[in-house]
Amino acid sequence: MPKRGKKYKEARQKVNSGTFSDFNEAIQKTLESSYAKFDETIDVAVRLGVDPRHADQMVRGTVILPNGTGKEVKVLVFAKGEKEKEALDAGADFAGSDELIEKVKGGWFGFDKAVATPDMMGTVGKIGKLLGPRGLMPNAKSGTVTFDVAKAVAELKAGKIDFRVEKAGIIHVPMGKVSFGVEKIVQNMATFLETILRLKPASSKGTYLKGIAVSTTMGPGVRIDAGQVKDLFK
């Protein structure tokens, strides 16, 4: 067990060690447990009744959070000609082709998300081993390989996140910042969990949503009764 600091222990005392059945109360307790001097991120962990080792039980998708994540997202677009200009006009922080690929080869990763037009993927694939481990490789399933670069950039800037269930059957995603307050965090959670429910694999048997926990970057986890998730959509 890791040794916990005094502030963490004090924060832990503010939250009930049991499970909350009310989402608003759970988020309120989570915000109250924040003690860092910076605006902490609110993270949610959802445990699913799936076995990711089986391809037909893989849960993966994207969702645009209505209130964003609170983080300024730097977007890079691999594109040429008019599509490069379109990307920059849409708000991309970086856009280009060969020169950007060479920068990445040289160890530069000054961006959070990457988009590529389909005609660039042959070249972008050459740096896949650099982008992939960092979660930066453009992917058609997440909407980041497209000729509609303006739409892709706008969505990423607006708070679009992609998620994928881990080996243990858990999905971790950010839901915003402490400064958002209860209402905005709950709205983001409702949108995210609706998406998760919609992506339930047909082969998943038994309980699908097994557990939900929220926490701040530095704070303790607060468990929420997954059986009450329908109340969140009211």
Radius of gyration, CA atoms only, the chain: 20
- The DSSP line for the chain is -PPPPHHHHHHHHHS-SSEES-HHHHHHHHHHT---SS-PEEEEEEEES--TTSGGG--EEEEE-TT--SSPPPEEEE--HHHHHHHHHTT-SEEESHHHHHHHHTT----SEEEE-GGGHHHHGGGHHHHGGGT----GGGT-B-S-HHHHHHHHHHTEEEEE--TTSEEEEEEEEGGG-HHHHHHHHHHHHHHHHHT--TT--S-SEEEEEEEESSS--EEE-GGGHHHHT-
- Cβ–Cβ under 8 Å, residues 75 and 155: no
pLDDT tens, position by position, 38-60: 999 999 999 999 999 999 999 99
pLDDT of residue 8: 56
- Cβ–Cβ under 8 Å, residues 30 and 226: no
Q: Which of 9-23, 75-89, 170-184 has the lowest mean pLDDT?
A: 9-23
Give the CA distances from residue 208 to residues 62, 132, 165, in Å, rounded to whole numbers and listed in that order. Answer: 19, 29, 13
**Residue 69 confidence class, pLDDT cut points 50, 70, 90:** very high
- Residue 26 CA to residue 32 CA, distance in Å, equals 10
pTM given for the model: 0.82
Phi, psi (rounded to 5 degrees) for 215: -160, 160
Q: Looking at residues 114-133, what average pLDDT do you find?
A: 95
- Residue 149 CA to residue 155 CA, distance in Å, equals 10
CATH fold of the domain at 6-69+160-232: Ribulose 1,5 Bisphosphate Carboxylase/Oxygenase (3.30.190)
pLDDT tens, position by position, 182-233: 999 999 999 999 999 999 999 888 899 999 999 998 888 899 998 888 777 7
Residue ranges per structural domain of the chain: 6-69+160-232, 75-157
| CATH class of the domain at 75-157 | alpha beta
At position 159, the amino acid (one-letter code) is G
pLDDT of residue 43: 95
* Helix 182-198 vs helix 23-32: crossing angle, to nearest 10: 130
Phi-psi group of 141: left, alpha or beta (phi > 0 → left; psi -120 to 50 → alpha; rest → beta): alpha
